[in-house]
Amino acid sequence: MATANRMIQKGSTGPDVKLLQGLLNQKVPLPKLPQGKKLVEDGIFGSKTDAATRTFQQMKVLKVDGIVGPKTWGALGVTYTGPGATPAPPASKPVFEQKKPKDGFDGTVNPPWQMVPMSGQKTVILKNAANLTVVSRNLGVATVEDVPQCFVHGGRELIIKGKIKGTTFIDVKDGATTVASLEVAVKTKKTVRASFHLVEDSASHKTTRSVSSIDGWVKTMNDILLPQANVAVTKQRAISVKINKDLGAVVRFSSHLPGVPASEHEWDLVTAKGDASADFNVFFVWEYEQDINPNHDDTDAGTLGKNCIFEDHAGTNVGDTLTHELGHTLGCGDLYGAADKPLLMYGITDQRGQLVLKTHANIMNP
């Protein structure tokens, strides 16, 4: 992390000013910079740097004075060590961290949470606990052990082994006092049987998807769900199906909409071709909509119960989006908050991530 040891303002020069200009170019949207152009990173705190500083301070709800002091440096991600700097924090408390991303760890909850498959194991990092004792509250559910002589970035590697389905805690103890805990959920594997249907209608409208792509999408689904929720997706069928009707340029779910003729209520007609023995039926179509304006492409897929209609224009991350739709079948709703973008259940295609948090993992696989 960069450091700065002085406060700067209009008229200042030097490396700290150049650092400031580079950070403002990164953190202030281009249209909000003076004249819509990036600052020249010349180390001279002129009027344009002053204006950009004030814009950044306004964005961060700081005092808008153009002075880059402890709070503004901190908001820029710079460690400030000069006059008025915050004193060094006390000794750090023990903290659990994930060993690798998307491996069933949720650090957003208190205590943090780790999914462990029954008869399997996961590895986590424990920092600031070199001489402390680590124990499981219930050895019948899960055990914990150190990886011998293994330290990662100053932390211990711990192996947690799942024994039977259930929940327990891994406690960090300083003598008899528990100073940190990790919740552990041991889960049995839940298998979801998925069938995939490539749809064509009587007027030769048909999906551009191919059966050969499906195995790759199923692999992506398992790459996301197995390590995070112990949910396994198996391909049960992958076939072409013919609908004996002209479905038109757009396949619609519209029975919930007033004023739409029954002839356009096409959801039941398509999903009737599903596999009754499957837990999740996907129907690939050329175009899909579910609102009052079918000519505006604002829906990529729709899921109701165990059926999903999925259009050809549903972004580039097809496996991710299929996993998101399966999340709906398994009981999870959409999320739309700014902080939700890394999550699998974020509602906007091609902006979502693959992360499954504790809440969603416990819904998908209780």
Average pLDDT over residues 71-100: 88
C-alpha closest to that of 83 among 3, 1, 6? 6
Average pLDDT over residues 192-199: 98
If phi > 0 it is left, if psi is from -120 to 50 it is alpha, else beta; for residue 170 that is beta
Token pair recorded at residue 116? 């462990």
Residues 6+ apart with CB under 8 A from 282: 194, 195, 196, 197, 308, 310, 322, 325
Per-domain boundaries in the chain: 3-80, 95-187, 190-364
Percent of the chain with pLDDT over 90: 90
Query: CA 218 to CA 323: how far, in whole Å?
Result: 9
- In the predicted model, what is the mean pLDDT of residues 104-124? 98
Which segment of 31-35, 149-153, 217-221, 262-266 scores lowest on mean pLDDT?
149-153
pLDDT digits (tens, 9 = 90+) for 212-264: 999 999 999 999 999 999 999 999 999 999 999 999 999 999 999 999 999 88
Between CA 25 and CA 31, with CA 29 as vertex, the angle to 5 degrees is: 110
State the CATH architecture for 190-364.
3-Layer(aba) Sandwich (3.40)
Q: Kindly state the average pLDDT of the residues 150-172.
A: 89
Q: Which of 211, 213, 197 is nearest to 251 (CA)?
A: 197
Is residue 86 scored above 90 in pLDDT?
no
User: Do residues 61 and 55 lie in contact, with contact meaning Cβ atoms separated by under 8 Å?
Assistant: no
Over 80: is that where the pLDDT of 87 sits?
A: no
Nearest to 249 by CA among 194, 287, 298, 289: 287
Residue 365 burial (CB count, 10 A): 21
| 256-280 confidence digits (pLDDT tens) | 999 999 988 999 999 999 999 999 9
pLDDT at 153: 60
- Residues 108, 133 contacting (CB under 8 angstroms): no
Structure tokens at 103: 């491996």
Mean pLDDT, the chain, integer: 95
Q: Does the pLDDT value for residue 36 go beyond 90?
A: yes
Query: Which CATH superfamily, name and number, covers 95-187?
Result: Immunoglobulins (2.60.40.10)
Residue 152's pLDDT is 61
Tell whether the model's pLDDT for residue 290 goes beyond 80: yes
Domain 3-80 superfamily per CATH? PGBD-like superfamily/PGBD (1.10.101.10)
* pLDDT of the residue at 315: 86
